[in-house]
Amino acid sequence: MNILRFVFSPILWILSVIYVIILNFKQYLYKNNILKTNKLPAKILCVGNITVGGTGKTSLVLFLSKVLQKKHKITILTRGYKRKSRNGYLIVSDGKNILTDVKDSGDEPYLLAEKLENVPVIVGADRYSAGKIALNKFNVGTLLLDDGYQHLQLSRNLDILLIDCLNPFGNGFCLPLGLLREPLESMARAGIIILTHCNLVEKTVVDSLVEKIKRYNNSAVIATCVHKPVNFIRFADGEKIATSYFSGREVSVLSSIGNPPSFEKTLVSLNAKINNRYNFTDHHWYRAEEIKNILSINEFVITTEKDSVKLENFKDGADKEILSHLFTLQIEIEIMENKEKCLEKIEKILET
């Protein structure tokens, strides 16, 4: 793979340059009102990133939803990447009931719907149209735009940018040569920048990253956060198990997420010993035979919450003994440095 990348890197570099030119031209069109930015009569907060792969957006959306719903009526708008349904929009949850299955909604929207009460979740590539549905059906005043940093079609009141300390900007190049969706200059649009997985790197790495960010955006609130393990859940019966349970034990990991190393490093921080890795492409839809084969040859298999919601359908008719080998790691985000500044900035925007 590295040899192929070396051989094709000149071509990828040219394609990256073309990509950036097209991206800059598109942003120019929006900035000069040649392309229309739609507005909605609501406060809109956007959570996103400038790299492909996972930075912890879903965990932050969960955190913000739980905090904000204490004072505000909110709805989550998300794309529903790799969902099976082809509807223009789909109401995954009305805040009280889940109205679709995981394949139609996509794994992340379904997880949000499953873990949140009184917060509707709507999927749709056109976030403006989905937002109008939210306002008409649920009479909310705040829309939380999940993975929308590049969605310039919809105006927002605040951009919250997530940057993963484990791999902040890849090799520094834009797609397809690198991981960047946009050049680093795009960080200037953010009002809040949150560094994720700070506990999995040295403090010097975090400090260096903060200094680099400030060269592009010196006005944003910069916060740090960790993804804190809460407990394990035995998949077969839902029993909660302490995070210390796998300390010193050999385990296998099963995931189809954008950033498998962060998940694995979290397990290692709990002193688990990883002996097998089953890493599928992001948002992979598992087949029953895949899961059966993996569980039948491993005593302990640990997966993510995002993967777990896609495995629920396999419970019916499955061998309970085999299912007892599967565990889900529950994780919550915890903002460490500048938490109050972040929440104060958000609250000030929502109350004006």
As assigned by CATH, the class of the 43-226+334-351 domain is alpha beta
Closest CA to 148 of 40, 221, 70: 40
pLDDT in tens, 6-22: 556 889 999 999 999 99
First to last CA, the chain: 52
CA dihedral 5, 260, 85, 153 (to 10 degrees): -70
Q: Is 339 exposed, middle or buried (0-12, 13-18, 19+ CB in 10 A)?
A: middle
pTM for this predicted structure: 0.94
- Map residue 238 onto helix, strand or coil: coil
Q: Provide the pLDDT for residue 352.
A: 85
Average pLDDT over residues 329-347: 97
* pLDDT higher than threshold 90 for residue 315: no
Q: Is the dihedral of CA 284, 118, 233, 265 positive or negative?
A: positive
Residue pair 133/91 in contact by the 8 Å Cβ criterion:
yes
| pLDDT, tens digit (0-9, with 9 covering 90-100), for 263-298 | 999 999 999 999 999 999 999 999 999 999 999 999
Pairing of strands 221-234, 240-241: antiparallel
Alpha helices in the chain (DSSP H): 2-31, 57-68, 102-105, 107-115, 127-138, 203-214, 260-269, 288-296, 305-311, 320-323, 339-351
Summarised one tens digit per residue, pLDDT across range 67-80 is: 999 999 999 999 99
**The token pair that represents 199 in the structure block:** 């506990």
Q: Which SS3 state, helix, strand or coil, does residue 155 take?
A: coil
Contact (Cβ atoms closer than 8 angstroms) between residue 110 and residue 308: no
Nearest-angstrom CA–CA distance, 192 and 219: 9
Q: Quote the CA–CA distance of 167 and 331 in Å, as a whole number.
A: 20
- Sequence-distant (6+) residues with CB within 8 A of 22 are none
Q: Please determine, for residue 2, whether its predicted confidence score (pLDDT) is greater than 60.
A: no
* CATH placement of domain 228-333: 3.40.50
Domains 43-226+334-351 and 228-333 agree in fold? yes
Amino acid (one-letter) located at 101: D
Q: Which residues contact 49 (CB under 8 A, 6 or more apart)?
A: 55, 57, 147, 149, 161, 162, 163, 164, 181
Domain boundaries, the chain: 1-36, 43-226+334-351, 228-333
